[in-house]
Amino acid sequence: MSVVFYLHLLGATVWIGGLIVLGGLVPAVRRATDDREVIKAMARRFGVISWSALGLLVLTGGYMAVDFWSQTLAVKIGLVLLVAMLAGWHSIAGSQQSPRTRGMIQGAILVVSLVILWVATQV
């Protein structure tokens, strides 16, 4: 296994694992405190980690795609673009959205990310 592939898997683990952990933590924190600053601080920190992981995925995925191109890979790239757009929208407009809308967007990001993982196993 190459270092690039290992880094790609590491990025995917951080991205998807972080989404799952955040999905479990945010509702619990919201029930425990009314202090929105706590959730905002969690979101900011998660943003740094998750955008770094996504950047690593794009860089390593792009590097590996040069040697291997397929229709499945094209689908995966399209789904990655969708996740990046959803995550960007969530990062930029999240503070103006209701908690329900934010949760729905986060859920969509997680579901599409899991589909990407499934598609990756089909390559």
Quick one: pLDDT band at residue 40, thresholds 50, 70, 90?
confident
pTM of the entire structure?
0.84
pLDDT on residue 27: 87
- Expressed as residue numbers, the domain containing 62 is 3-121
pLDDT on residue 30: 86
Beta carbons of 80 and 58 less than 8 angstroms apart: yes
In the chain, the number of structural domains is 1
For the residues 96-121, what does the mean pLDDT come to? 92
Please say if the pLDDT value at position 1 is more than 80: no
Distance CA 88, CA 60 (A): 20
Share of the chain above pLDDT 70, in %: 98
Average predicted confidence (pLDDT) for the chain: 91
Distance CA 106, CA 100 (A): 10
User: Where do we find the tokens 């990756």?
Assistant: 120
* Amino acid making up residue 37: E
